[in-house]
């Protein structure tokens, strides 16, 4: 049937939400969710760091799971 899987649709929705947060289209500050790079040695100013998690439940938070994508 050539329809996308649920996993891909969820990832796409998450990436769209991150785009809206960074572009200011949502009424949410990106600093509430993400830790940004403090230096501009390499890359760009929108580099996001993945926080270290100590519990298994924290792995599935929005701000942690979207950084790898």
Report the residue count for the chain. Answer: 69
pTM of this structure: 0.73
For residues 45-68, give the mean pLDDT.
77
CA dihedral 16, 22, 25, 28 (to 10 degrees): 110
Q: In Å, how far are 33, 48, 49, 65 from 10, measured between CA atoms?
A: 18, 20, 21, 11
- Which residue from 28, 26, 46 is spatially nearest to 36, judged by alpha carbons? 46
Q: What does the block give as tokens for 62?
A: 């929005």
Percent of the chain with pLDDT over 90: 14
* pLDDT tens-digit readout, 10-42: 999 988 998 898 888 988 888 777 877 776 667
Measured CA to CA, the distance from residue 13 to residue 41 in angstroms comes to 31
pLDDT, position 27? 86
């Amino acid at each position: 049937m050539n329809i996308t899987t649920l996993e891909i649709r969820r990832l796409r929705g998450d990436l769209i939400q991150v785009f809206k947060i960074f572009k200011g289209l949502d009424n949410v500050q990106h600093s509430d969710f993400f830790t940004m790079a403090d230096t501009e040695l390499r890359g760009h100013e929108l580099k996001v760091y993945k926080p270290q998690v100590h519990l298994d439940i924290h792995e599935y938070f929005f701000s942690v799971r979207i950084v790898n994508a």
